[in-house]
Amino acid sequence: MLAPPPPRYFAHRGGGTLAPENTLAGIRLAARLGYRAVEFDVMLSGSGTPVLIHDETLERTTNGSGAVATTDDAALFALDAGGEPPPRFAQAVRLCGEFGLLANVEVKPASGFERQTAQRVAAEVRADWLASPLLFSSFSRTALQVLQAELPDLPRAWLLAALPDDWRAEARRLGVVALHLDLALVTPALVRECAGLGLAVRAYTLQTPALADYLFGIGVAGVFVDPLDRFLPQALADRSAIG
Ligand code: G3P
Ligand code: MG
């Protein structure tokens, strides 16, 4: 039997802007709308628990205040992140597993916690192996290196908002299978060069299907999209490609 094609449309920050970002409600919404893959951001609480949140501070997405990295679990899980507490990483992965969603786990350490964040995420994955297919990504080279050592068989992508001079050598050293690039960096020449190096390219963050069509036309493998409802026919086509 042929393996199904990998998902092309990734729901950005769980549900993105349609549901509160980085929540279980967002992941449920993505599944309900037909998406096969979700991206979410993972950081450590002050107690060292991996949780879904984007910012290093609580103000924008919860009713709390202060730094995520200094808020312990008792305080963090008492907060409202949009009708629910900030989800634990393990809960989100299990939910993705229930829906058959590919989870793109963006390891997003608070500054200074790069190593610990990747280590804790890896430890939770090892404790819950079969939960869901996983694709890791991170802007942090340290986090990617730790994941490579701790979970060598699970795929990793390097997130880049700018292309450093040493990106080719670093991508090889980090053993990543893909670059997840800011949309502004993506050119046909770069996508071709990446293909020659065995690297898939995915682009973040798209708001229009026309742009997705263009990117797929130049060989981009996947796109992070938001808001989700602008891409409903595309998400369904992605699903029907499973066969
Ligand atoms: O993983 C793609 C994208 O989520 C990276 O940017 O800031 O939305 O986490 P950000
Ligand atoms: Mg992200």
pLDDT in tens, the chain (243 residues): 677 889 999 999 988 788 899 999 999 999 999 999 999 999 999 999 999 999 999 999 999 999 999 999 999 999 999 999 999 999 999 999 999 999 999 999 999 999 999 999 999 999 876 557 999 999 999 999 999 999 999 999 999 999 999 999 999 999 999 999 999 999 999 999 999 999 999 999 999 999 999 999 999 999 999 999 999 999 888 988 876
**CA–CA separation, 71 vs 230, rounded Å?**
36
This prediction has a pTM of 0.97
Helix (H) or strand (E) holding 145: helix 141-150
User: Is ligand 1 within 6 A of the CB of residue 106?
Assistant: yes
Indicate which ligand has the atom closest to the C-alpha of 222: 1
Q: How far apart are the CA of 179 and the centre of ligand 1, in A? A: 12
| Atom 8 of ligand 1: nearest residue by CA position | 13
Residues 110-147: tens digit of each pLDDT: 999 999 999 999 999 998 765 579 999 999 999 999 99
Pocket test for ligand 1, best of 9, 61, 102, 106 (most atoms within 8 A of CB): 106
Nearest atom, ligand 1, residue 137 CA: 1
**Which pairing describes strands 178-182 and 9-11: parallel, antiparallel, or unpaired?**
unpaired
Helix (H) or strand (E) holding 41: strand 37-44
**CA–CA separation, 102 vs 225, rounded Å?**
15
Helix (H) or strand (E) holding 215: helix 209-217
**CA–CA separation, 88 vs 23, rounded Å?**
9
Active site residues: 12, 54
Q: What are phi and psi of 130, to 5 degrees?
A: -90, 10
End-to-end CA gap in the chain: 11
User: Is ligand 1 within 6 A of the CB of residue 39?
Assistant: yes
| Atom 10 of ligand 1: nearest residue by CA position | 54
Q: How far apart are the CA of 101 and the centre of ligand 1, in A? A: 18
Helix, strand or coil, per DSSP, at residue 45: coil
Q: What is the mean pLDDT of the chain?
A: 95
Helix (H) or strand (E) holding 9: strand 9-11
